Amino acid sequence: MSEATQERPTVLVVDDEEDLRDIMRRMLERRGYATLVAGNADQAVEMCQETPGPIDVLVTDLGLPGVSGGDLARSAVQVRPDMGVIYISGLPKDIAVSKGLIAEDALLVKKPFTSDLLLEALRLVLSEKG
C-alpha cells in the first residue's frame, strides 16, 4: 500500500476562491492525484517549505490577492526546484505574457476549463519532469 501512495503525484492547488479550490481538489483526487490546497501565496510557500515528500506540480491562479501567481511560482520553485507549474487564468495566454505575468513558455489553462484540460496539462508537466 505504501508503495502505491508514493506513485501518486502530489499537486498543490492555490486559488483564493474556495469553491474552485474544492472542485479542483476533488477532481484530482478522483483521478488518483494526492492534493494539497492553499488559499493564498503565503500558505502555498509555507506548504512548500513544510510538506514532507515531493510536491510534483503547483497549480495556481494567476490572480491571487496581493501577489500574482507568477510571483508565487517563482517563490515556490525556489523552495522546490523540481516542481512543475501550471497557471490558471481568465486571461488568454498572450495577454498574460504581454503583461509580464508569465513567461512565453509557461503552461496556462484558461478559465473556464474542463477537468480533461487540466488533467492534460498535468500529464504534460509530469511527462516533462519524468
Query: Topology of domain 2-129, per CATH?
Result: Rossmann fold (3.40.50)
Burial class (CB in 10 A: 0-12, 13-18, 19+), 87: buried
Show me where the domains of the chain are located.
Answer: 2-129
pLDDT digit string (tens) for 18-77?
A: 999 999 999 999 999 999 999 999 999 999 999 999 999 999 999 998 899 999 999 999
pLDDT digit string (tens) for 74-130?
A: 999 999 999 999 999 999 999 999 999 999 999 999 999 999 999 999 999 999 877
What cell numbers appear for 20 in the block?
Answer: 474552485
- Strand, helix or coil for residue 83: coil
> What ranges make up the beta strands (E) of the chain?
10-14, 34-38, 57-61, 63-64, 67-68, 84-89, 108-110
